[in-house]
Structure formats: C-alpha cells, structure tokens
Structure 1
Amino acid sequence: MRMLEKEEEEGDIQVSWQDQQNINTFSKYNAKLQDLEETYDTKKTEKEYLDDLASELELADEDEPVGYRIGEAFVSLSVEAAQERISNSQVELEKEIEELKSQMDEAAEKMDELKKVLYTRFGNAINLERE
C-alpha cells in the first residue's frame, strides 16, 4: 500500500446550486438532441423513399392510375396528380429536415457552452461526452 499524492486524491467537490442547474440543463439539451437526431434520421429516410418513388413514377404509364396512400386508405390518382402530391410532400419534408437540423445545431451549441463551464469547474470529475 502507498499513500496517494495530493494530485491523485479525489476530494469531494462541492456542487453549488448553479452547478446543479447547469448539469440539469445540459442533461435536458442532451435528451432533446437525441430525440431530434432520431426524428431527423426518420425524416431523412422518408425523404429518400419519396425521392425513389418520384423516380419510379417518372417511368409509369401516364394513362394508368396509380395507388396513392392517404392516411390508412389508398386512392387511385393520375400519375400527374400523384407526382404533384409527392413533390409537395418532398418540399414540406425538406423544410422539416432543415428545421430539425437548425434545432440540433442550436442544442449542440448550447451543450458546448455548458461543457466549457462544467469542465472548467469540475475537470476530470465529470464526464459529459456522449457514447
């Protein structure tokens, strides 16, 4: 056995009320960022499906109606009407993806600010990195 050097000792670090508020805020942003990333991935995949569908409809016969899903039901639409609806859905989805990206960037920026404050205060005694 040996005695720990002063630098090796991990003393109890006093956590102030403000420190705890910063930790809680960081945790909230972290949870929000995870939710936003999941939603972003889902929307991105949906956008890819719509892009593929739009490409397939370009090859479809103009005279035959296509099945288009609205909610739980399928309706027959002309190829032109289906393409228009898909185009509108793509534009709407792009806007949603951009908004999600903006919210993710904002949350990440605020988390970085809190990381600086908390790492300055607690050093290696706190782990704020995502796994």
Structure 2
Amino acid sequence: MGVIADWLGAACLVAGAVLALAAGIGVLRFPDALSRMHAATKPQVLGVLLLLLGIALRLRTMPDLGMVLLVAIFQLATAPVAAQMIGRAAYRSGRLDRSLLDADELAERGQGGGQVG
C-alpha cells in the first residue's frame, strides 16, 4: 500500500508541477488581462491542489495532513476572490478589449470604467 501511495503521490506532484508551469507560461504569453487572469487562477489552483495531494500521499501523518488541508482551503478561498478583484480592476481601468466580452453586465448597470484598451 505504501509503494502505491508513493507512486500516486509522485504522479500528482509531477502533474501539479506541469499545471503550475502552464499557468506561469499563460500569464506571460496571453495578450489581455482577462486571459491572464484565467491562466493565473484555473490551472494554478488545480496544480497547487495536485501538489498538495501528492504531498499528502507521501507524508501520511495527521499533523502534515492537517496543514495540507489548511493550505488547500486557503488556496480555494483566496484564488477566486483575487481573480474577481483583478478582473474588476482591469475592467474599471479600461485595460481590456471589451469586444472580447460575450456579455458586459457591468456596462448595463452603469459601472463601466475607462476607455477601451
């Protein structure tokens, strides 16, 4: 059982590292703020959760599992809020191309920002 958990943990660590790398490359390569925000949150969060799962499978002690669980909860709680704030700031400052938006609900409410960038 321990060998199988070690191999699964190693696979999760590698998969998480690849997703975190993809998120970093996406932040550098994507052209606009909304695409970068997507790259900074979705694959990065899944990558961190896979890394934490890999760590949990390798360590397997209760204090370590408790710390891993705390890190996972904080990651899941803060990443969506940060992405929302980054998206709102980009929208209000006009640093995004509004033609790329499918629906512009903030403009309908009169909360629009600066010029189209």
The alignment's TM-score, normalised by the length of structure 1, stands at 0.37
* Larger Rg, first or second structure (1 or 2): 1
Of Structure 1 and Structure 2, the greater strand share is in 1
Of Structure 1 and Structure 2, the greater helix share is in 2
